[in-house]
Amino acid sequence: MPIANHKSTIPTPFTFSQSSLQDYADCPRRFQLRYVEELAWPAVETEPALENERRQQEGLFFHRLVQQRLVGLPVEKLGRMANSPNLSQWWQNFVDFRGLENFGSLYPETTLSAPLGGHRLMAKYDLIAATPGEKAVIFDWKTYQKRPKDEWMAARLQTRVYRALLVRAGSHLNSGQSLRPEQVEMIYWYANYPQEPSRFPYTAAQYKRDWDTLTRLVAEILAQRDFPLTGDEKRCAYCPYRSYCNRGVEAGTMNGMAETELMTLDVNLEQIQEIEF
């Protein structure tokens, strides 16, 4: 299903996110189809499709359960909503988690944004736990079946965007004072591996590197006209836009997913709808 007369410029104004920047880094053409052309997804991401959808919905529901707990709803009431084996196990693992007890304030589902390259960069955080004047820790809940390697998570744009943007735009979470990079840490908490989180402290050198990288990446996107296809065709089996690019019809299998494809199933907080309790 190739498309003629591709648009080649992003809408103005445009709000960049870790998801859109990761799309561009993985495959410029996918960024073009999703954010410039704003095309619908014509193909399923993985087979079996129903199993994939179930996993995504469970991940979304788990995020909402955690958010509701963090704003004060009772554990017992929320636990009754965890009505599948996966949800029940994830929920119990979260209830047993003791990593949030020593912070002054918890800010679930917080959004931060800042100017970047004439546009804006925005991030939605699962949780920012802060003690003003001391530290601010980003928690991100992951429901992956497989635990990714820390080295791979460190290189993801989510890790780089979330920490850099908290330094850039998080002063209101620190009594009005700018956060120093050394006060910031990011923790990925894996619901299937609750004792094996990934922890990423921050430094001033990393912050400068990350913001410079993000600035260059946005400048490259703004100057881009061709939006080439990725050279790694293995990614295409898990891309819902593959039929637009003549890169295959059948979806890859869930069992065959490598670490690099896990993020196509990642929970996007923008997708989370209110759940009635």
pLDDT tens profile 29-51: 999 999 999 987 765 554 555 77
| Sequence-distant (≥ 6) Cβ neighbours of residue 125 within 8 angstroms | 107, 109, 110, 111, 112, 138, 140, 162, 166
pLDDT at position 267, please? 43
Show the low-confidence residues of the chain (pLDDT under 70): 1-8, 42-49, 248-277
| Sequence-distant (≥ 6) Cβ neighbours of residue 65 within 8 angstroms | 78, 81, 82, 87, 91, 94, 275
d(CA 20, CA 33): 11
d(CA 37, CA 172): 36
d(CA 116, CA 120): 5
Peptide bond into 228 cis (omega under 30): no
pTM of the full structure:
0.88
| Sequence-distant (≥ 6) Cβ neighbours of residue 39 within 8 angstroms | 3, 33, 241, 244
CA 190 to chain centre: 13
| Sequence-distant (≥ 6) Cβ neighbours of residue 275 within 8 angstroms | 61, 64, 65, 68, 81
pLDDT at position 182, please? 99
pLDDT tens sequence across 155-201: 999 999 999 999 999 999 999 999 999 999 999 999 999 999 999 99
The mean pLDDT value of the chain amounts to: 88
Nearest to 52 by CA among 272, 268, 238, 246: 238
pLDDT at position 44, please? 52
d(CA 185, CA 243): 40
The amino acid that residue 136 corresponds to is A
Looking at CATH, the fold of the domain delimited by 15-269 is given as Lambda Exonuclease; Chain A (3.90.320)
